């Protein structure tokens, strides 16, 4: 019996061709492995399809729940948006897929794992780094990268080898899971070209969204969403519900220029209705319950966290350490946020929490204020001191002696 390789199998052209190619080139028996991370695709029959092409066995793993709780939820706590825009939908799923591949490879006593990533993208890095960290003895085979294949060559190879080629559903190249859908290639490679409505499947065009505003009430506990509109569904169902609601209101599209890890700039289009909504709601709640100092520092941590995940370093100990900090802050991130969805827009319109640091008596401009306005005078004196000293120097008023005055007049609080 030949040695085995476990191939991450999507059922698409790249990985179907890979089954044959690996057998031919490496003489290995191919075991296919398909992981369900909520890609909304019909995965039935996928194992059979692989076996018809020559796979010796198939594993189908439902990892939706694990993806939601162990990958998506930490990213919500980190308000994770790469380069301020991309909620990392594809990036988060890769280390999970890599982990499953390694586990199946160990079970099957395989000598290698394989994936269909190209040599130009981020995904190859995410797969390879995680695989090597988990099991350095496994060889990694990446046919598309090694073979430098393009679609036309693949179709020719498929036809020659009797591999059924499904007609391509769209001119775009897509990748999707519970947390979002990425749409690339074709006319979108011109960064000035507006993505047509047909590129999107989750978000209706804003003009076709209902004429009446829709609301969502999202409840968070320790930084993760636990209930929506008064119901406590599973994590997966909660995300799917928000995807649907926001998408039906035309909200969730991202169109930006992204810096890939390998140094290439690319135009990326996504639809991530739930991700954008839940992150916005979470971030808003944090503003109510965390101190200014916590928020400022956390935003730096968030940027670093997002970068690590984007760049394939899910397994980097720095990320674990940042998680520890983030989790500590999330203890108080409990409460409800109300968001309004209307014709392609989403806005937080209300928030409340038992852990709120908002004190009406301090912030009100009305009579009930307990804030002594006189206390501001001394504060301003010191707050602006460094800038005053510097300005005096800049404007040549060197001889003037600066003073720091105490505010000594006590007034009634309401004045
Ligand atoms: N640019 C995104 C990322 O690197 C999306 C990549 C989509 N991947 C794909 N195989 N189509 O995370």
Q: How far is the CA of 311 from the centre of ligand 1 (A)?
A: 11
- Given 85, 173, 311, 356, the catalytic residue: 173
Which residue minimizes the CA distance to atom 10 of ligand 1?
A: 175
Query: What CA–CA distance (Å, rounded) separates 253 from 275?
Result: 11
The reported pLDDT for the residue numbered 369 is 87
Which residue minimizes the CA distance to atom 11 of ligand 1?
A: 175
CB 1 within 8 A of CB 29: yes
Q: Which atom of ligand 1 is nearest to the CA of 270?
A: 5
Q: Which atom of ligand 1 is nearest to the CA of 268?
A: 1
Tell me whether domains 4-173 and 176-362 share a fold: no
CB 203 within 8 A of CB 250: yes
Can you name the CATH fold of 4-173? Rossmann fold (3.40.50)
b/e code 259-297 from CB counts within 10 Å (16+ = b): eebeeeebbbbbbbbbbbbbbbbbbbbbebbbeeeeeee
Domain regions of the chain by residue span: 4-173, 176-362
CB 145 within 8 A of CB 152: no
What separation, in Å, do the N-terminal and C-terminal C-alpha atoms of the chain show?
A: 90
Q: Is 219 exposed, middle or buried (0-12, 13-18, 19+ CB in 10 A)?
A: buried
CB 378 within 8 A of CB 361: no
Residue 353 annotated in active site:
no
The reported pLDDT for the residue numbered 401 is 65
Q: How far is the CA of 182 from the centre of ligand 1 (A)?
A: 6
Q: How far is the CA of 90 from the centre of ligand 1 (A)?
A: 6
Residue 70 annotated in active site:
no
- Given 49, 94, 319, 351, the catalytic residue: 94
CB 87 within 8 A of CB 256: no
Residues with CB under 6 A from ligand 1: 90-91, 122-123, 173, 175, 182, 184, 258, 268
**Per-10-residue mean pLDDT for the chain, 415 residues long?**
95 93 96 94 89 96 98 98 98 98 98 95 97 98 90 89 83 94 95 97 97 98 98 98 98 98 95 98 98 98 98 98 98 98 98 96 87 90 94 76 62 49
Q: Which atom of ligand 1 is nearest to the CA of 173?
A: 11
Q: How far is the CA of 94 from the centre of ligand 1 (A)?
A: 10
The reported pLDDT for the residue numbered 132 is 98
The reported pLDDT for the residue numbered 415 is 42
CB 331 within 8 A of CB 77: no
Task: Name the residue of 179, 182, 258 to mutate for ligand 1: max ligand atoms within 8 A of Cβ.
Answer: 182
The reported pLDDT for the residue numbered 1 is 81
Class of domain 176-362: alpha beta
The reported pLDDT for the residue numbered 310 is 98
Q: How far is the CA of 256 from the centre of ligand 1 (A)?
A: 13
The reported pLDDT for the residue numbered 23 is 95
- Given 29, 123, 128, 284, the catalytic residue: 123
Residue 367 annotated in active site:
no
Q: Which atom of ligand 1 is nearest to the CA of 94?
A: 12
- What distance lies between CA 32 and its chain's CA centroid? 27
Q: How far is the CA of 91 from the centre of ligand 1 (A)?
A: 7
Residue 62 annotated in active site:
no
């Amino acid at each position: 019996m030949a040695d085995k390789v476990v191939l991450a199998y999507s059922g698409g052209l790249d990985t179907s061709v890979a089954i044959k190619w690996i057998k031919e080139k490496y003489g290995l028996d191919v075991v296919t492995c398909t992981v369900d991370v909520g890609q909304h695709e019909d995965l039935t029959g996928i194992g059979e399809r692989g076996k018809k092409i020559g796979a010796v066995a198939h594993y189908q793993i439902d990892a939706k729940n694990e993806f939601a709780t162990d990958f998506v939820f930490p990213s919500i706590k980190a308000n994770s948006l790469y380069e301020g825009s991309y909620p990392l939908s594809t990036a988060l799923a890769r280390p999970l897929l890599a982990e499953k591949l390694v586990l199946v490879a160990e079970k099957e006593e395989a000598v290698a794992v394989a994936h269909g990533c190209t040599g130009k993208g981020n995904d190859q890095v995410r797969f390879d780094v995680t695989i090597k960290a988990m099991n350095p003895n496994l060889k990694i085979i990446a046919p598309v990268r090694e073979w430098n294949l393009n679609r036309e060559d693949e179709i020719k190879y498929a036809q020659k080898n009797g591999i059924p080629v499904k007609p391509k559903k769209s001119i775009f190249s897509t990748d999707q899971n519970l947390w979002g859908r990425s749409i690339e290639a074709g006319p979108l490679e011109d960064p000035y070209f507006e993505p047509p409505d047909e590129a999107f499947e989750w978000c209706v065009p804003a003009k076709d969204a209902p004429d009446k505003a829709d609301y969502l009430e999202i409840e968070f506990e320790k930084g993760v969403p636990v209930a929506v509109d008064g119901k406590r569904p599973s994590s997966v169902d909660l995300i799917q519900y928000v995807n649907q609601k926001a998408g039906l209101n035309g909200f969730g599209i991202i169109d930006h220029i992204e810096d890939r890890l390998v140094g290439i700039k690319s135009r990326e289009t996504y639809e991530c209705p739930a991700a954008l909504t839940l992150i916005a709601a979470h971030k808003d709640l944090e503003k109510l319950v965390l101190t200014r100092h916590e928020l400022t520092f956390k935003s730096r941590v968030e940027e670093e966290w997002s970068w690590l995940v984007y760049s394939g370093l899910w397994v980097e100990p720095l990320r674990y350490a940042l998680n520890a900090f983030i989790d500590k802050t999330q203890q108080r991130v409990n409460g409800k946020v109300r968001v309004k969805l209307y014709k392609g827009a989403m806005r937080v319109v209300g928030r409340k929490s038992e852990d709120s640091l908002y004190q009406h008596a301090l912030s009100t401009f009305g009579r009930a204020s307990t804030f002594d306005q006189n206390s501001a005078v001394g504060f301003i004196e010191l707050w602006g001191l460094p800038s005053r000293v510097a300005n005096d120097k800049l404007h040549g008023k060197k001889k003037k002696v600066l003073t720091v005055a105490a505010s000594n007049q006590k007034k009634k609080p309401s004045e």
